Amino acid sequence: MVGVVYENLDLKRERSRCSFDKEEITNLIDGGKEKTQERRDLEEFIVSDEDLKDSIPIEYLSHADKYSAELRKACLLFKKLSDPSNGPKDVSTVALLSTGAGAIALKEGNPLALHYIMFLPTLMSMCTPEQQEKWLPKATSLQMIGTYAQTEMGHGTFLRGLETIATYDPATKEFILETPSLTAYKWWPGGLGQTTNYAIVMAQLFTRGKCEGIHPFLVQLRDEETHEPLPGISVGEIGPKLGFNTVNNGYLGFEKVRIPRDHLLMKHSQVLEDGTYVKPASTKLGYGAMVFVRVLVIRDVAVQLRKAVTIATRYSCVRHQSELKPGDPEPQILDYVAQQNKLFPPLAATFGFHFAANYVWDLYNTARDGIGKGDLHLMPDLHGLSCALKALSSSEASNFVEVLRQSCGGHGYMVCSNFPRIYSLVTAAETYEGENTVLWLQVAKYLIKTRMDKSGGQSVAYLIDPNLMSNKIADLSIDSITNLFKRVAAGHVDLAMKELEGYSRRGMASHDAWNHSSIHLIKAAQAHARYFVADCFARSIKEGKFSAPVRSILNQLCELLLIYWLVERSGDFFMFAELNAQQLTELQSKYMELLGTIRTYAVNLVDAFDIRDEALGSVLGCWDGNAYQRLFDEASKSPLNKSTVHRESFEKYLKPLMKSNL
């Protein structure tokens, strides 16, 4: 690190023993040398700009002042990135709150994020060329700032239950938007509160007295000059949350708001002037934007997990505690096996989720190209896989981050550790863009259908293999362990099918049978997701071009993660994969061996993530290891420490209590 004067001796010693090329890992994560350089250039551009720094730590600002501070930086940042004199920059990447560059300037959340993440992609994927020509120039230049208003107070993932109504009036050639109840209010869209002046609104389309289902409409919410809400528009912010408190999530209601007919996004379906409805070629054509965001969530969760692992690993190197051997100096807590057990499974998982996210991203881009040509055959697999990996990565990351926080003791509870913020980001991913339980059941539906029809996409091809359950355990290699995960996934699917069939034979309606079988169905979906990550991790190592040291490290991490998951769910492997007690004992011994091996390079591996201190945002995980001084410096920033006595509260409350002689 250029310019670093102090470096903790423990960290320095660990770094002096590095046996692999850190830059190779960095390039792997970024997607190549050029991508690494682009990221570093963008980060340096942001860090070196004094205008993008906070004059007061944002944690000490009021709710309204936090929003104002982050909006100021967001607007300034996008202006600077759009300025040709600053060189070519990808503005959209900064919209993602949690990417390295975006997190440097916008710690609490980007009020403009949904404009780039959902509004623009939806205009590009759902509008006709004529509509794009009309709206995209204004949207890309931020004359129109938009959000995506789908979720309602009373309905989220169940889209058919949305209550907002858009009724076509052929006399005026307009749609009339209405919010028929309190539960029909749009609730949660980012930027909706006070930031955006337009929204893509998902509403039930009525024409000629018939409901044609959910459709997207472009609706102006605020005057483009005064920013005041237009007549019939009720809009505001929903209030403080666990995190993302400057994303400006809002609510939205309509009272007979009229919009032109051509504000229905008409690429896939249309309403003609006389009210005739023209159906889309396929109902799957509208999945694109939602799938796109789920793919981003998978990638973003891996970013957050890398941050948490980096903080906990570096702090575990710096922190000395207790006596490992009576009379000896206090050891690094990184030397405790129990601590390694907390740190290294999530460290391994960052790579598993990274490779899986790359696979889904490539699948998404291939499917998107196919959709443009009318080819939808990849959509079921993409939908099932994006649901499965979004649910698995977010739930696993939430659990891992909490364990990593605890691994740092009480200091991990401090806001300046950055664990509270990281946790708030990853746990939010468990519910936004599809609540995980609902997504698991959607995945299960795809698995059951594949198993019954003996037809499905690449991710579920194993369920069609007639020799699936005949393969015996040859050894305990990564390939064999991966095969065990496959058998467990198939076994759970078969068990869920058996339960469904049993309820059906007893005369239970199919929807009731599904409800009663939901626990087994969810377990099947989860087992499928873990098998996919395991298989993708192993295949990516085999097929990738790595140096011998890096390939060895990746194999060790893959093996550790697979054994960790297996041991946690050993009952499943006894039940479905013919694992025996002796094999489990051997795997547990191998796991302990791997912990010791990974201990030798863990610090260097998190260094290879190349997360600069400004992006990491943690006094505990700083590169130089000067955690205690930084912790004290952060405490000194508290407004309560500006004076030795908080005079107003002392005189008004504490002193009278002390003198009251209770």
Tokens 């997190």 belong to which residue?
A: 103
Which tokens go with 19? 């046996």
**What sign does the CA torsion over 238, 244, 246, 252 have?**
negative
Q: Contact, 120 vs 210, CB < 8 A? A: no
CA dist., res. 621 & res. 241, Å (int):
26
Q: Contact, 302 vs 355, CB < 8 A? A: no
Packing angle of the helix pair 548-568, 22-30 (nearest 10 deg): 60
- 3-state SS class at 111: coil
Q: Based on the residue annotation, tell me whether 433 is a catalytic residue of this protein.
A: yes
Torsion of CA 107, 112, 118, 119, to 10 degrees: 180
Q: Contact, 228 vs 246, CB < 8 A? A: no
- Listed residue (310, 371, 356) closest to 535, CA to CA: 356
Which tokens go with 122? 């939806």
Tokens 């989220």 belong to which residue?
A: 156
Which tokens go with 34? 């050029």
Tokens 């190209």 belong to which residue?
A: 369
CA dist., res. 260 & res. 246, Å (int):
32
- 3-state SS class at 430: coil
CA dist., res. 593 & res. 69, Å (int):
49
DSSP code per residue over 141-201: TTSS-EEEE--BSS-SS-GGG---EEEEETTTTEEEEE--SGGGSEE--TTTTTT-SEEEE
CA dist., res. 353 & res. 330, Å (int):
35
Long-range contacts of 612-616 (CB under 8 A, 24+ apart): 612/43, 612/47, 612/100, 612/104, 614/43, 614/46, 614/47, 614/104, 615/43, 615/100, 615/101, 615/103, 615/104, 615/307, 616/307, 616/310, 616/311, 616/418
- Listed residue (101, 122, 188) closest to 152, CA to CA: 188
Neighbour tally for 15: CB within 10 Å: 15
- 3-state SS class at 92: helix
Q: Contact, 379 vs 371, CB < 8 A? A: yes
- 3-state SS class at 212: strand
Tokens 């009731």 belong to which residue?
A: 512
CA dist., res. 94 & res. 364, Å (int):
21
Which tokens go with 515? 């409800």
- Determine which one of 152, 430, 433, 559 is catalytic: 433
What are the residue numbers of the active site? 433
